[in-house]
Amino acid sequence: MAIVILFLSLISCSVFGQNDTSHTFIYTPNATLKEGVYFSYDRFIKQQPLLFVKIVNYDNYSDKESFFKQKNIQILDEYGIAKTIDTRTIWGYVLNNMLFINYNKEFYRVSYLGTLSHFLATQTVRNYTTPYDPYYGYYAPYPMQAYETTNIVQNVIDFKTGKIYPFTPEAMLALMSDDTELFNEYNALKKKKKKEMIFYYLRKYNDKHPLILYK
């Protein structure tokens, strides 16, 4: 009898632990994120930032976003000793209740936050061209010239894994593969319609699978 009671007790504790939501909350635009610096995706999910008061000279910058454009910053460790770190080691930071994500060594604001999050970024592409000569044509004996162009790109963050993908229909299909209904619905659309409806399905997925954060 004692063994049965113990067994039932363990099941009860297990079920309670699985359903206990007292330490988590569903993110909505009205929710408050903890401000500070996050050194990993996991730290953000757990809402465990390094507070801005622990960052040396942070308060001296009126433009807070420009502060994180520095190559290195100093933080105070648990003993109050200043420690220099590479800014590129920061995963992201929350300022004024907005998440800024580190992408290609720069920080960009996440415009739409959810289990699948959307943000815009710039990407520099190096191009090469062969000079044209009226006499030799395009096969002139001159070295190729290089020039750079900067494009705006759209990306999506999968907060199930913390990975970043280009915001394309192909990526969305892969990211929605755990929801058979939405996957089949989106996959049935024509190619052009997939592009037109991509943000709609991003929102639709997030409505069914909201982002869960820790308090």
Give pLDDT tens digits for 122-148.
Answer: 977 666 666 655 555 555 555 666 656
Six token digits for residue 197:
């409806």
Nearest CA to 182 among 168, 201, 163? 201
The pTM of the full predicted model, rounded to 2 decimals, is 0.79
- Mean of the pLDDT values across residues 185-206? 97
- Mean of the pLDDT values across residues 70-89? 93
- CB proximity list for 92: less than 8 A, separation 6 or greater: 37, 38, 44, 99, 100, 101, 102, 107
